[in-house]
A and B are shown apart, each in its own frame.
Chain A
Amino acid sequence: MSILKVKSSTLRSLAQTMLLLLWSTMAAWAGEPKGPSSQGTNIFAPASTPAKSIADLSVFVLVITGIIFLVVFALLVYSVVKFRGRAKDAGREPAQVYGSTQIELAWTIIPILIVVVLFLATARVIHAIQDAPEPAGALDVIAIGHQYWWEFRYPKLGIVTANELHIPVSDPNHPTPTFLQLLSADTDHSFWVPELAGKTDLIPNHPNSMWIDPQRTGVFLGQCAQYCGTQHAKMLLRISVDQTDDFGAWVRAQQKPAVEDAGAIAGRRVFERNACMNCHQVGGTPADGRFGPDLTHLMSRATIAAGATENTHDNLRLWIQNPGAIKPGCLMPAMKLSDPDLDAVVSYMETLN
């Protein structure tokens, strides 16, 4: 281990420089305009401990492999240039060399040493991330992957929501990490928010877990990374990392049952008369389906259709009228509502804040 310590400390400053270089390159590539508060999806811009330790390890591995590349590439170029056939040698064969035990030994032993160093550095990070104990102040969330959306349940808080996960920011001195239990309702999915952690799959009959402790607020983007069916591409993820107070306010709002607005009673009737209620839940009403996202506080979400489009009046109307127009192949059927019914349901949805 002492060799490793020396190696990693001498390489740390080099690693930091490389990291900065990479960041700036990546930032340049990712320079297209973004929403004001949303973050990118760059694995070298970590905002949470697991993503940070992975980024550090990655830079270490990049430096070592980079050095190997330079050495071998230099040897290759040198031998191609130096030993190119020349006209004056035509017809003569070079010295026939069959091998050399010393050289073979050298280029066996050096790679073995490199592998030992890389493995020890990696094993340390594996252990630190995978075997981290759950502290008392941690938030528990159950994430359930569905074809093609995310269900989030907060068992201790009694909240159910979809696609947009809200969690508190974690102060490194008083960490409040979020521990996610990952389940699947149908096929395999994978939970990937690159700036917060590496990905972990959601597999039916095979509960997994992961944790994140974001250290800055904002909306972090990600999406399903394991091919799960037709609309795998539009199974997007948003994690809103809130200040502790904002998070508390959000929790209290989500814990309330759905708003009962007398003005939207016509829309509610359409919703409950049609098959909508078989798949969707609206807290405090007879609608208690679980096949689709919970709609109790639909208007508290910035997007619909698992992040496929913004939650605006027109998009909501289009989505209910013809989901295939936004996500062809998604599992929500077009209910073929008449225009008055459609407008009524949209008005009802817009009261669910």
Chain B
Amino acid sequence: MASDAITLPVGQIEAKPWVDELHQWLTTVDHKRLGILYIASSLLFLAIGGVEALIIRIQLIHSHNNFVSPEVFNRMFTMHGTTMIFFVAMPILFGFANYLVPLMIGARDMAFPRLNAFSFWLSFLGGLLLYFSFLGGSGLYGAGSAPDVGWWSYAPLGSRAFSPGHSSDYWTLALLVSGFGSIGTAINIIATILCLRCPGMKLNRMPLLAWLNLVMAGMVLIAITPLSAAQIMLLIDRYLGGHFFDTQAGGSAVLWMHFFWIFGHPEVYILIIPCFAFMSEIIPVFSRKPIFGYPVMVAATVCIAFVSMSVWAHHIFTIGMNSYANSFFTLTTMVVGIPTGIKIFNWIGTMWGGRIQFKTAMLFSIAFLFQFLIAGLTGIMMAASPFDWQLSLSYFVVAHFHYVIVGGILFALFAAFYYWYPKMTGRMLSERLGNWHFWLFFIGFHLTFDVMHIPGILGMPRRIYTYEPGRGWDTLNLLITIGAFIQALAILLFVANLIISYFKGARAGNDPWDAWTLEWSTSSPPPAYNFATVPTVTSRRPLWDLKHPEDPDSRYE
């Protein structure tokens, strides 16, 4: 079908000097190149954020440690959180969406290629602004460098009285600028999916990855806007004499909390829904079965999107809301567990009766299911607001959300890397290094984040640069730090795999996994135009139909 390539005139494929190559990358509007730029810049920030995490962990290795000063420690956890959420998790998922959505719906590019490039460069500029604070943060006041207000920058800590200098301004501008980039990308994804599907690809034949990214993009539009509004209000407070969040002039600290978390909670689902999308593509292929309950998976995703818009205040159960508000947010938060549970059951239902192939991508996917289950259940514990009055702001909640973000999102991302790297580069990642990467990371992850729940139960608050001896926290923190270093080692193996396999990996061919969606019908890496002839599909698994003409999916629609 669409796999035949257009033969280019010989003159056009001569090797170009590296300056030309660089120029092409910097000015590209190709969705695949922008996807790779998103992913590469996110990996850079992942390394930086990871080093910050290691500094935090070394400082906490035993009580009354003096590895870094409290000021530096506070900057580290602020930068770690901000970096990982805004400049790693979001852009890397946008990168995969950029790369995969047009290919999977049989389109030749995103709907607005230049908006796409603009959005990427805005996001990247946001990251540079954040890190420029190390140089420019003190302003004329000689006050600190990088922001040290936590990644929520709760009012009034972010106001001028408590954050003199410019460190908070860089934080604000970084989020504002990258937020505009996110909104641009979200508009682009929505327009692409709604308008550029190939002939025959009705909405109910779209790959789940496209469906879930459509839902994610809709959530970005709703969730990022209040964050951007709040950042603008904060700038007005800091520079134009506004008093939105300036408590010393009658402003409201609680207002900021609501603004932040009405963004912050949907944000969790903005990050996890694309990971659900990876799972919904990878698990079927390595189980050799179609996804179980496709319409239910779509419905559950839309349901999660709606409900997750009304759960934000479970992040602030301790701020003294009345018992009715606490009950309401308890209920909505528990309800969001229902469609999420349905998804887990459907993935297990997909594996049930299949012939599971334990490639590295599938190992990461199975670990995702296991860890996301636990993360969901600790989430239910904290949804019970009285339980949360104990657990909130403690290391238990830190363990919980790292279970979601590392155990869920990062494991899903690694699965996606092992699954789509052959498509992006034309080379297979080494399965042997992949296995080492998986098992080391799995062990390190569980050592760190399983253990981390316990100091929270024993009363250890988060964001403390040191702690008192004799509380029973010392041994636990030592184990957590050891686990962090094992994870760092595993990440190094992963990076080594990415680099070595790029040059020495086995040739991938068009379709190394015997998969069923359209991206595998074109060459690896795909040509700039993706498909020589625009494909036509008649079912959810066009390549299955092609490979099994005696028993095509289209017969069952």
Contacts and interface: CB of A to CB of B under 8 A. Distances in A.
Contact of A65 (B296, B344, B345, B380): B380
Given A31-B472, A69-B374, A230-B74, A94 B386 contact: no
Contacts of B353: 83, 94-95, 97
Nearest to B326: A126
A122 interface: yes
A123 B390 contact: no
Interface residues of A, number: 96
Contacts, number: 292
Interface string B351-384: 1111111100000001001100110011011011
A98 B554 CA distance: 12
B323 A126 contact: yes
B320 A80 contact: no
Interface string B60-103: 00000000011100100000000000000000000000000000
Contact of A69 (B288, B334, B377): B377
A119 to B, nearest CB: 5
Given A118-B334, A206-B320, A329-B71, A85 B356 contact: yes
A270 B508 CA distance: 81
Given A33-B470, A206-B253, A99 B296 contact: yes
B472 A61 contact: no
8 contacts: A29-B475, A31-B472, A54-B389, A100-B292, A125-B386, A192-B461, A204-B156, A225-B461
A272 to B, nearest CB: 29
B468 A236 contact: yes
Interface stretch (B202-210, B335-343, B411-419, B519-527): B335-343
Nearest to B334: A115
Given A108-B338, A108-B342, A227-B154, A96 B454 contact: no
Given A26-B457, A69-B373, 10 more contacts: A57-B386, A58-B386, A85-B357, A96-B551, A100-B349, A130-B323, A188-B155, A203-B319, A208-B319, A227-B154
Interface in A50-95: 51, 53-54, 57-58, 61-62, 65, 68-69, 72-73, 75-76, 79-80, 83-86, 89, 92-95
A223 B295 CA distance: 49
A80 B326 contact: no
Interface in B224-240: none
Interface residues on B, range: 35 or more
A226 B348 CA distance: 39
A122 B548 CA distance: 53
A325 B476 CA distance: 27
A126 B386 contact: yes
A68 B389 contact: no
Interface stretch (B46-54, B114-122, B244-252, B529-537): B244-252
B371 to A, nearest CB: 11
Contacts of A54: 386-387, 389-390
A84 B390 contact: no
B360 to A, nearest CB: 15
B220 to A, nearest CB: 27
A337 B75 CA distance: 32
Interface stretch (A40-48, A162-170, A171-179): A40-48
Interface in A109-135: 111-112, 115, 118-119, 121-123, 125-127, 129-131
Contact of B355 (A83, A123, A125): A83
Interface stretch (A193-201, A253-261, A283-291, A338-346): A193-201
Nearest to B340: A111
A45 B262 CA distance: 34
Contacts of A244: none
B386 A53 contact: yes
A94 B390 contact: no
Contacts of A227: 74, 150, 154, 157, 462-463
B373 A72 contact: yes
B474 interface: yes
B327 interface: yes
Contact of A188 (B154, B293, B373): B154
A194 B472 CA distance: 14
A201 B315 CA distance: 12
B254 interface: yes
Q: Classify the interface of chain A: helix, strand, loop or mixed.
A: mixed
A61 B337 CA distance: 14
Contact of B377 (A68, A130, A188, A199): A68
A118 to B, nearest CB: 6
A115 B390 CA distance: 21
A45 to B, nearest CB: 10
B110 to A, nearest CB: 31
A287 B239 CA distance: 37
B471 to A, nearest CB: 6
A83 B283 CA distance: 13
A328 B70 contact: yes
A231 B467 CA distance: 11
Interface in B276-319: 287-290, 292-296, 318-319
A290 to B, nearest CB: 16
A232 interface: yes
7 shortest interchain CB distances as A-B pairs: A198-B389, A41-B459, A30-B472, A208-B320, A233-B464, A204-B247, A99-B293
A43 B457 contact: yes
B470 A61 contact: no
Greatest chain B CB density within 10 A among A42, A80, A236 is at: A80
Contacts of B377: 65, 68-69
Greatest chain A CB density within 10 A among B253, B288, B378, B390 is at: B390
B45 to A, nearest CB: 23
B331 interface: yes
A103 B393 contact: no
B162 A187 contact: yes
B387 to A, nearest CB: 5
A42 B70 CA distance: 26
A58 B341 CA distance: 21
A94 B353 CA distance: 7
Contacts of B247: 204-205
Contact of B289 (A53, A94, A125, A236): A94
A40 B459 CA distance: 8
Contacts of A197: 389
B20 to A, nearest CB: 46
A192 to B, nearest CB: 7
Given A61-B384, A65-B381, A84 B356 contact: yes
B497 interface: no
A222 B374 CA distance: 28
A31 B474 CA distance: 11
Contacts of A26: 454, 457-458
B141 interface: no
